[in-house]
Amino acid sequence: MKIKVLLVVSALLMLAALYMVFIYAPTEAEMGNVQRIFYFHVPLAWIAFLAFLVVFIASILYLWKRDKRWDFIASSSAEVGLVFTTLFLITGSIWAKSWWGVWWTWDSRLTSSLVLWLIYLAYFIVRSYIAEDQRRARFAAVVGIIGFIDVPIVALAITLWRTQHPGPVIFEGGLSPEMVGTLLVSIAAFTALYALLLAYRVLMKQDEDELKKLKAQIRG
Amino acid sequence: MRFWRKAFVIVWKDIVSEIRTKETISSVLVFAILVIVIFNFAFSANQETMLLVAPGILWVTFAFAGVLSLNRSFIVEKEEHCLEGLMACPISREVIYVGKMLGSLLFMLFIEAIVLPIFALLFNLAVLSPQLITVTFLTTLGFVAVGTLFSALAVNTRAREMVLPILFLPIVTPIIISAVNATGLALSGEPWSSLSSWLAIIVAFDIIFLVVSFLVFTFIIEE
């Protein structure tokens, strides 16, 4: 039942966000309509961070409690996080193309996200190479913890590196109140979507696990 | 300090076995020199551009050599079921981590002590400054801090040595960036003060990952 509510809430919020992004929010003076990608780009970055924070916490709880539900949450959140980080990189790339004229620039935020993306890709590669459930959960939890702790150090090193070779600035002027409102609604919509996807994925993993148990029982 | 005595027994075991087999250090050393020679062809640079690309060449070489030697660290333990033997010893898992980590650190430093002068000789660079030696030591410490953990993880997966570089390289990016920049500054004879922010990142990485790896290592070699 709860998941139905979440589905409706996230659908309504997403519709509201779309309306605000494309109709309500004013067109930015310098960049024009391309700036509207900002309302997707920033929430995606926030969800990527949130998703990997959830991976980190669920990983610690798994190692502590040894309850496989924490592993379901960690791996599901990592999946959703990887998808959102990919979208973040794609929207960043589109924005960079129209604003700076290149598909990719070694800007500190894009570069940090790329490293983040590679770390969580490694998380899934580790998972895919371990057949046994408990060991996979333990090893993945270790990678989830180390990976998340690494993120601020990566960001620090890359920011320092970029200030040595100055990079382009994203925003010169401030945001108007309408823009801030649109951004907040968009963030809320994406957060609800994240929670929904996470809930679906965890339920699916629980069913898969149940099915595995039943199969084992039938085989004896 | 019984903890350290036990850890040094593991280090000593690794040294003795390396002296007898001469497997890891000799092949990693040859590999490192090959990487440097191949980079020379890739850039075929003159003296000026060399100063620009040299720090990058040096750290790519050390990172690759690190992956190779860290992989060996636990593959040799796995091959003859030595890891089970180690785990059956009346020692904590943390002792195994510290022992293997120090062993890998010694091997890496030994390799770097040979590669650095060769690198200086081939590229005609002034390498032996205290700044550069400090950067090399601290970055190598960071490499083995996470590398030992991931090496133990990698040998317990189906793909074995394939997994280590995929995990290791993205995690060590902050210290590779810092080491490359600090090395560049050291090679152009800059004073300590201009290296300090890079050294701070490397030291922070070392401390954080020595502590975290020490704490989570026990979950890797549990069964």
Please say whether the beta carbons of A44 and A91 come within 8 A. yes
pLDDT band at A95 (very low <50, low <70, confident <90, very high): confident
What pLDDT score does B116 carry? 92
Task: Determine whether the interchain pair A153/B181 forms a contact, defined as Cβ–Cβ distance below 8 Å.
Answer: no
CA separation for the pair A198, A192 (Å, rounded): 10
Residues of A with CB below 8 A from B201's CB?
Answer: 153, 156-157, 160
The neighbour count for residue B76, using CB atoms within 10 Å, is 18
Nearest to A126 among B167, B198, B212 (CB): B167
- Read off the pTM: 0.90
Token pair for B101: 């980590």
Question: What 8-state DSSP symbol labels residue A24?
Answer: I
Domain ranges of chain A: 2-24+35-219
Residues of A with CB below 8 A from B163's CB?
Answer: 125-126, 129
Three-state secondary-structure class, residue A32: strand
Token pair for B22: 């001469």
Task: Determine whether the interchain pair A122/B166 forms a contact, defined as Cβ–Cβ distance below 8 Å.
Answer: yes
Sign, CA torsion A72/B93/B214/B176: negative
**For residue B179, with 0-12 CB atoms within 10 Å meaning exposed, 13-18 middle and 19 or more buried, which class applies?**
buried
Task: Determine whether the interchain pair B156/A135 forms a contact, defined as Cβ–Cβ distance below 8 Å.
Answer: yes
Per-residue b/e over A107-117, b at no fewer than 16 CB within 10 Å? bbbbbbbbbbb
Nearest to A118 among B170, B178, B197 (CB): B170
Nearest to A138 among B204, B208, B222 (CB): B222
CA separation for the pair B143, B67 (Å, rounded): 9
CA separation for the pair A168, A171 (Å, rounded): 9
Please say whether the beta carbons of A189 and A8 come within 8 A. no
Q: How far is A16 from chain B (nearest CA, A)?
A: 38
CA separation for the pair A133, A137 (Å, rounded): 6
Task: Determine whether the interchain pair A129/B146 forms a contact, defined as Cβ–Cβ distance below 8 Å.
Answer: no
Query: How does pLDDT run along chain B (223 residues), one tens digit per residue?
Result: 688 998 999 999 999 988 898 888 899 999 999 999 898 888 876 777 788 888 999 999 999 999 999 999 898 888 878 888 888 888 888 999 999 999 999 999 999 999 999 988 888 887 778 899 999 999 999 999 999 999 999 998 988 888 999 999 999 999 999 999 999 999 888 888 888 999 999 999 999 999 999 999 999 987 6
Q: How far is B19 from chain A (nearest CA, A)?
A: 32
**In this complex, is the C-beta atom of A133 within 8 Å of any C-beta atom belonging to chain B?**
no
Q: A interface mutation test: which of B160, B171, B205 has the most A CBs within 10 A?
A: B171
**DSSP annotation string for A80-145:** HHHHHHHHHHHHHHHHHHHHHSSS----HHHHHHHHHHHHHHHHHHHHHT--SHHHHHHHHHHHHH
Q: A interface mutation test: which of B93, B155, B177, B218 has the most A CBs within 10 A?
A: B177
Task: Identify residue A13 by its one-letter amino acid code.
Answer: L
ipTM: 0.90
Domain ranges of chain B: 2-220
Express each pLDDT in B1-15 by its tens digit: 688 998 999 999 999
What pLDDT score does B1 carry? 67
CA separation for the pair A119, A117 (Å, rounded): 5
Task: Determine whether the interchain pair A129/B220 forms a contact, defined as Cβ–Cβ distance below 8 Å.
Answer: no
Task: Determine whether the interchain pair A129/B204 forms a contact, defined as Cβ–Cβ distance below 8 Å.
Answer: no
In 3D, which of B149, B75, B131, B139 has the Cα closest to residue B112? B139
Q: How far is A119 from chain B (nearest CA, A)?
A: 6
Please say whether the beta carbons of A135 and A127 come within 8 A. no
pLDDT at A122 > cutoff 60? yes
Chain A nearest-CA residue for B174: A154
Chain B nearest-CA residue for A114: B170
To the nearest 10 degrees (0 to 180), the angle between helices B24-43 and B93-123 is: 40
Which residues does B contribute to its contact with A (CB < 8 Å)?
A: 146, 149, 153, 156-159, 162-163, 166-167, 169-171, 173-175, 177-178, 181, 197-198, 201, 204-205, 208-209, 212-213, 216, 219-220, 222-223
Could you tell me the end-to-end alpha-carbon distance of chain B, in angstroms, rounded to an integer?
27
